[in-house]
Structure 1
Amino acid sequence: MRAWLVALRIARREALRSKGRSALVLALIGLPVLAFAFFAVTYDTFTLTPTEQADRDLGTADIRLTGLYDKPVKQEPTDFGLTTEGDQVELTAAAATGLLPAGSRIIPWTEGSATFTTKTGRGGLNVWELDYTDALARGILRPVAGRAPANAGEVAITTAARDRVGAGVGGTLSAPDGRTWKIVGLVDNPQSLNSDLVVFRPGAAPFSSRNTSWLADTPAPLAWSDVVALNKRGGVGYSRAVMIDPPPYDPATMPQRSQNSGEAFQFATVFAGALILEVVLLAAPAFAVGARRRRRELALVAAAGGNPAHLRRIVLADGIVLGAVAAALGLVLGTFVAWATRPLIDDTVMGASPGAFRIFPSALAGLALLAVVSGLLAALVPAWTAARQPVVAALRGLYAVTRLRRRWAVIGLVTLVAGIALTGFGASRADDTMSMAGMVIGEIGLVLCTPALVGLIARLGGRFPLSARIALRDVGRNRAAAAPAISAVLAAVAVSTLAGVTLASGTNKYVDSGEPLAVPAGWVTAQLNLYPPGPDQPPLPAPPASAFPALAAAMSSTMPVTATVAVGRVLCADATDPICWVGTERPTAQKCPFENRGDLSRDDQKAARGDPRCETTLRQSYGPAFDQVVIDAKDLGTLVDLDAPTLDAATAMLRSGGVLVADRFAVVDGHTTLTLSGATSEARELRAAALALPEVDSPVVVISPEGVATLGLASAPAGFIGVTDHMPTLAERDAFLAAAAKVAGSWQIDVQTPPKPRDEPFLVVLAIVAGAVTIGAAGIATGLAAAEGRADLTTLAAVGASPGVRRMLSLSRTGIVAGLGSLLGLLAGLGAAAAVIAGSNRALAYTWPAFEQPMPYVVPWLNVFVSLVVVPVAAMVGAALFTRSHLPVERAA
């Protein structure tokens, strides 16, 4: 023990004496600790506790009643999901009171939307009716400025709504019909900081659509058994007590869940393994370079009687001391940065307010231990090397050129292949732990192969200019210093690439797996609305014929459209029917055999997931705007993206009186069965010649005027589809709404918007953190490797080399280290991401209905460019800038 205390004192003294090297080592170990401490604290702070989530969903209420049905329901305990065979009925105050224990107090919370005048025209805003000053609603909204509305003529708005309408506290909010309200308060919605919300007093909002729920204060907390009893009476409610302490899954009282919900592939497990390896590899070059620069000092210890064990302890003590200090600094700075950047993170990344500031003690303790252990592990090889160095050669400043040992290259290659095999096997079984282990083993194998790769690349030096030739020779000769630096860059780039590919693929997954669009994203639809304005009221009258060209002109003048397509609608037998749904009917043999079979076994779900008939069933389960259209055949190429042969065949089908359908299983022997149904018309079926469209964004059914005549039907104008050259801005949409309001008729205006990525904010933070670590680690690691070659720069200066030559040598060294590390890291990251995505998709193979689609493999080319170009170039420029023109004379041997 005393020997270790002596070694620790020597390590502390050396750290204080060599402040520059110590600072670089601390930075290299502390940088990932800082970054991942920031991520851990941010994650813990923004992951709401059940109590915090209940406060935002319920305020201080004991329960929130959200619906009422005429038959029993099954609901989720905490998520807003339910199943029932009944029809929804109005949840009045009397009905809500009747569902609750005697003595309960309730207040209404109505959510909906309405149209208001904005800075650029008119637009729909979210609207609430809620007395947020009531104790039951405390926590749902956060007052920012002003006060709450006190009467029907006052409103409070969010910051996003203020920016859209162009008026704040003290200003006026107006509706297109001339009604006005005074803005008296500014609030934030903690659940969605970017929502454009207007808050009215109960009963005062001009809703165009609404849904009322009730917050209730009950005499006693409501347990899950109380909620189940409420469900049996048709009520739906979310209890605070249940949200804070949810019950286990019970199929008798809860909706069916995916049977493999507990087997989901955990990305966090894979990232954890990658991050641990990254911290270890980042620490390696610090001690490899440090031990070589201290070889004379260590030789003096040996000459004074120190044995190899003493030398090993001294180098290992370096790892312990610097690892502990780096851990402390990294944790403190990471926690501070997380605290300081909360406002930036909640606005730009999360879109929601954080919970109470929490520091995730278990994660920070693990990071601290990891930093110390990493320092110790990173010092093992340098310690072993230092203990074996020739004392006389070290005192003279000489060192032997290391030979390329084939056995290490072979071991590395075998380890790499084994890691790849284990990762693939884990992915095939959706085993995240096995995939993580395989990825770590494979990366270790790649690290073991690095010295051999360095030696092979060094043999190419004869083909390059002098500076690059010297750099390649030096890197090949000093593999003990170069290989750890390359491995550090490799690890940083690999984690950054893994995070980037996973983020890009997840984003693309959610964009591709949403409701099928009738037209591509960004296009505009203007559809005639004839629905009755209320129950027991007649349909709205059709506008005059002049309204349609006026609407097309309004669209062209306000939206970024390059073309407009006139769209018609099929009329049912009752021409006054406000809607006539035209769909397709599959033959029995083409229907999904697993529909309407209740709970499916694991094997049945897997079979259904692999049956293409069931995939199409999912795609046809939605009804987007203009899902059936009547268009001229010449406009088909504008509306649907088809290759030339398919477009020619589809156009010919329309001109011959046939129809186009999106469901290929509805077409048998060139014909399909069309179903027509309306609100007041009896359903009927028609047989028509048909062609199935490929899997593209398209309406469910496309008919031409010739087809309408062939089928003995009638049609009428329905609106327009606008082809745009970019996603319309909010200002352009508001301007179009204002212009369309001046056209006779009631119009439903929509911009086709793909689903937004969800459940990914923490992955965004992780990708940012990994990118920052990559840039910083590459610079520090290559800087440490370059410090090893300062003697060569001095020698070059002594023989008359210009500062430019010396800078080029430093630049070349850095480029080799950073470039090779980036290339290997990119390959490792892309491979690891492929395994992660395969494992995630494999976990979905047993889930049907397919509520979640497989994740595609998407390469973020910007990340690739940063890894292959920006990281090496930044390191090279830094090396060139920090290479001094005049160097001090090194000690002669």
Structure 2
Amino acid sequence: MAGANSTPRTSRFDQWRAGWRVSLRMARRDVRRHRGRSLLIVIMVGLPVLLLTAATTLWFTDDLDASERLPFQLGSSQGFVLEPQSTQLRQLLDPMSQTSWDGEPPASSPVPGLTKGDEKASLARLLGARLTEVTTTPATLRVGDHYQSGSVLGVELAHPEALAPRVSLEAGRWPTGPGEVLVTVQGLEHGLPASGTIGLGLLDPTGETPETAATVVGVGRGYDTQGSQYFQPTDLVTTPLTSDASQRQWLVDRGTPITWGEVERLNTYGIGVFSRYVAEHPETVTRQQEGEGGPSTTLLVVSVASLGLVLLTTLLAGPAFAVSAARQRRTLALAASNGATAGQLRRTVLAQALVLGVLSAVVGALLGVTGGVGAVAITRMVRPDLLYGPLQVPWAAVGLVAAAAIISSVVAAVIPSRGLGRLDVVSVLRGQSVSSPLRRRVPLVGVLVALAGAATVTWAAFTRPDYEFVLFLGGSVAIVVGSLLTVPLVLALVARTAHRLPLPVRMAAREAGRQRGRATPTVAAIMAGASALTVVCIGLEADTVRQARDHVPVVREGQAVIQGTTSPQRLPELARTVESSAPGVHTLVINDLVDYTQQQGAAMLAAMRPGCALPDVVPGPVGGDVATEPDTRCSTAASFARNFSGTSIQAVDLDQLTHFVGLTEEQRAAMSRGAVAVVDPLDVAQLPLPGPTGHLLRDIESLRPVTIDEDRGVATFALWRQRPGESDTTAPPRASDVRTLRLPVIHVPRDRWNRLVLIYNGSPAGIITTDSAIRLGLPVSPSGLIARADGGISTDLEARLGDAVIASQRDATFIVERGYQRDDTLALVVIFGVIGLIILVATLIATALSQTENAPLLGTLAAVGATKRTRRALAGSQALYLGMLGAVIGLLVGLAPGFGLARVVLTRVTEDGVPIQPENIPVPWLQILAPVLLVPLVAGALAWVSIRRAPVVVRRAT
């Protein structure tokens, strides 16, 4: 009976739960008691959550999935069918995607009763449905004197209510014929009027459709789609249009769906089908595309972003929890002296982190979702032409981000809580607080981990293994973790060598070395932002270099090219249009000496090479970027060699050439007598020889044309006429047909010669006048038109000349080559602004918390006579020192992942699959160093200003 009055023993789980319940209650009270410190932690943890959840909301709303696209593609119809083709189809879900046949596809079955021009009736009988014709036609739109390209959606409007939301009316009335149009919200954004009249010119293969006047009768929306993926808004909506360039389809309106079996049956008639039912039930599709893409990467992206959030938030929130643990040292020491275990002390700190983490995650997520919803609403009002789907808040992704923030808060508090197990109770109660001795193994392990991470990142960048992304991410995390373990050693080493520094900086360095437990999280928080900035800057610079490298200029930078699909014989007319619209602009019509009408008996001209027989005088493949020997020593320039850059002989008007290149009077006179103009051989002697494999010309300035052999300023040419029945231009002529010519040669400096390069015509090896070509009996075929201005072609002049050219020829374009230019400047500004804001906020908050912890020290200095200037210098030096140290370490930490990312971006892969590594990695030091140096200076200045008056010292134990 002795055990009847004994107290029942509680289980370990009950003790653990009771301990956490008490710790959480104390944490909630501590959060309310220290609102300022709690607010700072909420900002540190909640800011990344806010930004990520807002971006996620925008992303999911902007990204339309298949089910959200269907109403904009089909309205309320069951799908649409395309025009019948002459061969049978084997389409996939998308009618624009086909599986290949084993051999030639069989001819399609004839559609019963199908007649040209009356396809609708026969297709309606075949489908047993009411059809609505839809056309999409490219057009030139004129408003006043300004021309622009656009697209026109033509729709039968007998039942407009069934077309929404693919076609909808927002203001005004529906058009009743092709002379009336609706202007869409995209058209309004492109500068079209909401009322009045516009000029409408439909484009067709000839580009000669006359312009008609179209009256704007309303504002609406219209979308063009040809399959499941292609989906674009149009500029105008009207009734169906007829043009050779129009694409037609018919919406199917009936009560029964279009099944996959019916799609296969219609494919036998050569009819492509996009079915609503099949799109909603893709499992019914029996044919699958080879190499079909895997699942959506949305979850992967959100997961990676959440992992990054854990790492970033852990580093940002570290200083707050470190200072919080430091402020509670005395309270925790008293609890330890009264029997509290190390586990109970740790739970006290971790409970605060859990409470603040949950609060920060909830506040950040709610504000982020609210901000994302507000951004969507504002975007819809400011840019109604942008296509946003239904508002979609991805609560699963938001929950994942919030959970990551909570985990990061707890992880950030783990390190200071682990230090409580080695709490020196006596020293803390006496007011002495010094970091424990540095463990030599920890920095060594950190160095090894960082080196292993850098090696992993570098290896992944060079070899591109299967799990490249995972290895790259893991190596980057290892670099960060290893660097964090070495920060205490860096603080200690700098403190030992600080005797050469100025007094305030020396005191700051020694204080940080003495209080490493407090300084390390501050340095880590600043390091996080600086390393992220370094990686982003190097990656973007590499992307800019890659896109600039892959950019192929059409003409020399600053010049313009005039293009169109009509007959090349109209190029001289366009040249006169440009010159009359802007007298200061020089034009040049480039003529090929090839008969493109394929008539027999065309004359041919080729430069002779010493020691080479006439049959060997053929042009070899030439490129301008490989320093190898020519394909054959007898390769030369010829009138029929336009397929290879740097080998063709072309003809231009003498007056145009004189103004375009700047010929001297002597050179002009020589050209009028039949001379051939070539680039000065001394100017291109240092350039690589043309390569034998026809590499694509990318760098106009480094092109070296084929040399035309001269003897005392005269070159020998062979002239012959192709015999009837011979179609091969490279076939050697009969000796009896060849006439030998000796023509004078003039030299044009390379700087002016490169003005003649037109990328799709290549660089000429020689230029003669059109009069000389006619005298020699050579065919003259206009093939290109370029323009230049001595003072450069401004954007206003480009727009004016563009309107003049389009007015002369409907589908012509006037394009000025301005080199590669990024079109995502706004996005880059936002990215750099966010990263800079995170660095600045982390630095300021970490500095503020450190200054709060240093208040007793500043009070002691004031008590012994330190002036405000001295205390300001100390406060500013502490903020500047920690900020600069964290920025420098962050810069070093970000270099390895940045270099690895840049190497992946810049690596080129040949046609044989062989990777070509970049010779060097560009580093934008200015963009990296500016914020890295500026932010610590700003933090130091704010810390210096924050010291305003002498503190009141009531009592201090030390």
Q: TM-score category by the smaller chain? A: 0.7 to 0.9
Partner residue, 1:102: 127
1:519-538 → structure 2 map (5 Å cutoff): 519=555, 523-527=559-563, 530-531=566-567
Secondary structure class of the residue paired with 2:70: helix
CA separation of 1:213 and 1:817: change in aligned 2, threshold 3 A: farther
Residues 622-647 of structure 1: CA deviation (Å, up to 9, x unaligned)? 99999999467999999xxx999895
Partner residue, 2:395: 361
Secondary structure class of the residue paired with 2:763: strand
Secondary structure class of the residue paired with 1:13: helix
Partner residue, 1:450: 487
Partner residue, 1:173: 198
Secondary structure class of the residue paired with 1:235: coil
Pick the aligned partner of 2:248 from 207, 212, 228: 212
TM-score with structure 2 length normalisation? 0.72
Q: CA RMSD in A?
A: 5.6
Pick the aligned partner of 2:522 from 485, 493, 496: 485
TM-score with structure 1 length normalisation? 0.76
Pick the aligned partner of 2:896 from 820, 831, 854: 831
Runs (5+) with no aligned partner, structure 1: 532-539, 592-612, 614-621, 672-680
Once the two structures are TM-superposed, the CA of residue 293 in structure 1 deviates from its matched residue by: 1.8
Aligned AA for 2:388? Answer: P
Contact 1:29 1:371 in 2 (8 A): yes
Once the two structures are TM-superposed, the CA of residue 860 in structure 1 deviates from its matched residue by: 5.7
Pick the aligned partner of 1:701 from 755, 759, 762: 762
Partner residue, 1:14: 30
Pick the aligned partner of 1:42 from 46, 58, 81: 58
Contact 1:323 1:371 in 2 (8 A): yes
Aligned AA for 1:882? Answer: S
Secondary structure class of the residue paired with 2:166: coil
Pick the aligned partner of 1:391 from 421, 425, 434: 425
Distance 1:795 1:438 in 2: 46
Secondary structure class of the residue paired with 1:356: coil
CA separation of 1:159 and 1:253: change in aligned 2, threshold 3 A: closer
Partner residue, 2:578: 551
CA separation of 1:856 and 1:72: change in aligned 2, threshold 3 A: farther
Once the two structures are TM-superposed, the CA of residue 27 in structure 1 deviates from its matched residue by: 1.3
Once the two structures are TM-superposed, the CA of residue 856 in structure 1 deviates from its matched residue by: 11
Match status 1:112 vs 2:137: yes
Contact 1:75 1:253 in 2 (8 A): no
Contact 1:73 1:234 in 2 (8 A): yes
Aligned AA for 2:88? Answer: P
Aligned AA for 2:578? Answer: L
Distance 1:158 1:629 in 2: 49
Distance 1:756 1:97 in 2: 51
Secondary structure class of the residue paired with 2:133: strand
Residues 573-627 of structure 1: CA deviation (Å, up to 9, x unaligned)? 63999xx9x9xxxx99999xxxxxxxxxxxxxxxxxxxxx9xxxxxxxx999999
Contact 2:309 2:404 in 1 (8 A): no
Partner residue, 1:296: 330
Secondary structure class of the residue paired with 1:69: coil
Once the two structures are TM-superposed, the CA of residue 306 in structure 1 deviates from its matched residue by: 2.7
Aligned AA for 2:361? Answer: A
Partner residue, 2:720: none
Once the two structures are TM-superposed, the CA of residue 336 in structure 1 deviates from its matched residue by: 0.8
Match status 1:332 vs 2:366: yes
Once the two structures are TM-superposed, the CA of residue 326 in structure 1 deviates from its matched residue by: 1.0
Partner residue, 2:635: none
CA separation of 1:847 and 1:78: change in aligned 2, threshold 3 A: farther
Distance 1:134 1:10 in 2: 66
Partner residue, 1:875: 939
Partner residue, 2:554: 518
Contact 1:114 1:208 in 2 (8 A): no
CA separation of 1:369 and 1:668: change in aligned 2, threshold 3 A: same
Secondary structure class of the residue paired with 2:453: helix
Distance 1:353 1:311 in 2: 55
Partner residue, 1:685: 729
Residues 840-874 of structure 1: CA deviation (Å, up to 9, x unaligned)? 788x9699899x99999665667524542343344
Secondary structure class of the residue paired with 1:705: strand
Contact 1:38 1:337 in 2 (8 A): yes
Partner residue, 1:605: none
Contact 1:518 1:625 in 2 (8 A): no
Once the two structures are TM-superposed, the CA of residue 287 in structure 1 deviates from its matched residue by: 0.7
Match status 1:567 vs 2:590: yes
Contact 2:876 2:940 in 1 (8 A): yes
Distance 2:91 2:161 in 1: 27
Once the two structures are TM-superposed, the CA of residue 333 in structure 1 deviates from its matched residue by: 1.0
Contact 1:270 1:433 in 2 (8 A): no
Once the two structures are TM-superposed, the CA of residue 221 in structure 1 deviates from its matched residue by: 2.8
Pick the aligned partner of 1:494 from 521, 524, 531: 531
Aligned AA for 1:879? Answer: A
In our comparison, the structure showing a higher alpha carbon Rg is 2
Distance 1:343 1:624 in 2: 54
1:56-95 → structure 2 map (5 Å cutoff): 56-66=72-82, 68-75=84-91, 77-78=93-94, 80-82=96-98, 94=119
Distance 2:36 2:695 in 1: 67
Partner residue, 2:500: 463
Match status 1:185 vs 2:218: yes
Pick the aligned partner of 2:456 from 411, 422, 446: 422
Once the two structures are TM-superposed, the CA of residue 226 in structure 1 deviates from its matched residue by: 4.0
Once the two structures are TM-superposed, the CA of residue 290 in structure 1 deviates from its matched residue by: 1.0
Partner residue, 2:317: 283
Q: Please, which moves more after superposition, 521-530 or 121-130?
A: 521-530
Partner residue, 1:618: none
Distance 1:627 1:69 in 2: 42
CA separation of 1:784 and 1:407: change in aligned 2, threshold 3 A: same
CA separation of 1:790 and 1:706: change in aligned 2, threshold 3 A: same
Distance 2:891 2:223 in 1: 39
Distance 1:863 1:248 in 2: 53
Partner residue, 1:240: 276
Q: How many residues align?
A: 823
CA separation of 1:93 and 1:841: change in aligned 2, threshold 3 A: farther
CA separation of 1:263 and 1:121: change in aligned 2, threshold 3 A: closer
CA separation of 1:475 and 1:185: change in aligned 2, threshold 3 A: farther
Distance 2:913 2:317 in 1: 47
Q: Please, which moves more after superposition, 471-480 or 488-497?
A: 488-497
Once the two structures are TM-superposed, the CA of residue 263 in structure 1 deviates from its matched residue by: 12
Contact 2:23 2:347 in 1 (8 A): yes
Distance 1:827 1:547 in 2: 57
Distance 2:62 2:40 in 1: 32
Once the two structures are TM-superposed, the CA of residue 386 in structure 1 deviates from its matched residue by: 2.9
Residues 696-741 of structure 1: CA deviation (Å, up to 9, x unaligned)? 9933533333499899743255553234799978765442133336
Match status 1:27 vs 2:43: yes
Q: Please, which moves more after superposition, 43-52 or 319-328?
A: 43-52
Match status 1:436 vs 2:436: no
Match status 1:155 vs 2:220: no
Residues 353-378 of structure 1: CA deviation (Å, up to 9, x unaligned)? 33222222222222222222222222
Once the two structures are TM-superposed, the CA of residue 349 in structure 1 deviates from its matched residue by: 10
Aligned AA for 2:419? Answer: T
Contact 1:554 1:740 in 2 (8 A): no
Aligned AA for 2:885? Answer: L
1:130-145 → structure 2 map (5 Å cutoff): 130=155, 134-140=160-166, 143-145=169-171
Aligned AA for 1:44? Answer: F
Once the two structures are TM-superposed, the CA of residue 86 in structure 1 deviates from its matched residue by: 8.0
1:572-651 → structure 2 map (5 Å cutoff): 572=595, 574=597, 630=650, 648-649=684-685
Pick the aligned partner of 1:786 from 838, 846, 851: 851
Residues 256-279 of structure 1: CA deviation (Å, up to 9, x unaligned)? 548999999977765554333112
Aligned AA for 1:783? Answer: A
Once the two structures are TM-superposed, the CA of residue 554 in structure 1 deviates from its matched residue by: 2.6
Contact 1:323 1:376 in 2 (8 A): yes
Aligned AA for 2:369? Answer: T
Contact 2:761 2:784 in 1 (8 A): no
Aligned AA for 2:54? Answer: F
CA separation of 1:287 and 1:541: change in aligned 2, threshold 3 A: closer
Residues 527-566 of structure 1: CA deviation (Å, up to 9, x unaligned)? 47643xxxxxxxx8657x6863452343566xxx7x6554
